[in-house]
Structure 1
Amino acid sequence: MKISKYIASAIIALITLNSCSKDDPIPVIDQEEVGSARLVFTEVEVEAHGDHFHYNDFAGQEKDSIIFEGEKFLPPVGAHMHLEVGKTYRFELRVFDFAGRQSQKTFIDRDDQHFAFWIGAPADALKIIYADKKEDKTKVKVGTIGYITVLKASESFNWRYIMRHLNPGVKTSIDVEKDIQNKDFTKFGGANDIDVKFETHLVADDQSGHGH
């Protein structure tokens, strides 16, 4: 009888265990959700400080943006960005999930898995640096915010911004200063979280009246 009781107890425990296992929720892997995106460009003043620079806002600074939305994340028809030679602009990526909440912070929180590439500008026409910071002020290189200095004029070109979700360990193979404009970005394994294009024109100062 004792053996039968032990067997019965074991069977009940096994049934209970299986029942709990089936009822446990399957872990959900949090993924970046992008409903729309915006790139904002704001002219800034550059102030040299020894071996680095400060980028300061000022009264009357130019500010412009392009919104990407819809199934294919296309900019508005006729959208056009022009940046002036000799000027520096702060760019900011703003991402909105499908509920309209800003979510670009996710890319910074997961800086080891994300890096942005700017593709399509003429060679040596731009200098781009990244200036991302986590909530604790730790500096990281992701590409949600940074500074673009225009070095020379160019005809219009299609500028492509790509926020790439990198495979584990890939970020360490990226030179975060030199690879920002690397056209061979697909060699860094992963998938694109954001991939948008917009027409851009780098203009000389005397062309500042050029329309957007």
Structure 2
Amino acid sequence: MKHSFKKLSIALLSLGFVAFISSCSKDDPEPEVPQEEIGSATLTFTEVEWHGDHAHDLEDPEVVSVTFDEDGLPPVGAHLHLDAGKTYRLTLTATDFAGREGAEQEFLEESDIHQLFFLGAPEGVLDYQYADPDNKRVGVTGYLHVLKTSDSFVFNVILRHLNNGVKASITDADWNNPNYTKFSGENDLDLKVEVHVVDGDHDHDDH
């Protein structure tokens, strides 16, 4: 009788342990996919000579750039001028939380879950072509065609950290899609800076 009771006690303890483990497994939340920790980000607009479907570098190009801090904020009063009729190579570079350069390479290495969107310009003012290496189509490098002048607007660059499988539904035409949130995921970067598109004779120091 004592042996039967002992066996029963061990069996009940075992069942309780299994139930406890099962309960913990159900209650523990699934770990979230970590987002990149960015220390700073820089947008650089380098003038190029555009020939139909490709660019030539210029010896003395116009270069405009702006750097955003770890909170995604530009310097106080930042205001960029771009010239209508020109094409710029637009590049995104970034540092990590420790200030190390080259953080943008991770966006390219994980191109299947990263996508840049370029928002805010009035209709017909800008056009854009992705130009990342190996046709990865992220937006770390691309060509921004400035089609006509406009009043100042807030240029908003979004780096979307996509959920798995979402990238396949994004096309080149979505580069400025204001409904980018339909591509499920989270924003790694949300950069905003004032831009004014002027004609080529405009003095860039004249705001």
TM normalised by structure 1 equals 0.78
| Percentage identity across paired residues of the two chains | 48
| Partner residue, 1:19 | none
Q: Which residue of 1 aligns with 2:74?
A: 75
Q: Deviations over 1:111-142 (max 9, x none)?
A: 11011011110011111011111xxxx22100
- Name the structure 1 match of 2:62: 62
- What is the match of residue 185 of structure 1? 180
- The answer to whether the 8 Å contact 1:84/1:208 transfers is no
Paired position in structure 2 for 1:157: 153
Query: Which moves more between the two structures, 201-210 or 189-198?
Result: 201-210
Using a 3 Å threshold, how does the CA distance of structure 1 residues 28 and 150 change in structure 2: closer, same or farther?
A: closer
Are the aligned partners of 2:35 and 2:161 in contact in 1 as well (CA < 8 Å)?
no
- Aligned mates of 1:28, 1:160 — CA distance in 2: 26
Instruction: Give 1:57-136 correspondences, 5 Å limit.
Output: 57-70=57-70, 72-101=71-100, 102-133=102-133
Q: 2:201 aligns to what SS in structure 1?
A: helix
Q: Which of these residues, 189, 201, 206, is aligned with residue 201 of structure 2?
A: 206
Corresponding letter in the other structure for 1:126 = L
Residue 86 of structure 1: SS of its match in structure 2? coil
Q: Distance in 2 between matches of 1:174 and 1:28?
A: 23
Separation in 2, partners of 1:105, 1:187: 25
For 2:173 and 2:92, locate their aligned partners in 1 and report how far apart those are by CA, in whole Å: 20
Amino acid at match of 2:173: K
Structure 1: runs of 5+ lacking an equivalent: 1-26
Evaluate the alpha carbon distance shift between residue 120 and residue 28 of structure 1 in structure 2; reply closer, same or farther with a 3 A threshold: closer
SS at match of 1:178: helix
Q: How many residues align?
A: 176
Answer whether contact 2:81 2:198 (CA < 8 A) is retained. yes
Distance 2:111 2:85 in 1: 31
1:44 to 2:63 alignment: no
* Cα distance in 2 for residues equivalent to 1:111 and 1:95: 16
8 Å contact kept, 1:82–1:203: yes
Q: Distance in 2 between matches of 1:211 and 1:144?
A: 30
Task: State how far apart, in whole Å, the 2-side matches of 1:60 and 1:114 are.
Answer: 33
- Work out the CA distance in 2 between the residues paired with 1:114 and 1:189: 11
Q: Post-superposition shift, 1:29? A: 6.6
CA RMSD of aligned residues (A): 1.8
Structure 2: gaps of 5 or more residues:
1-30
User: 1:172 aligns to what SS in structure 2?
Assistant: helix
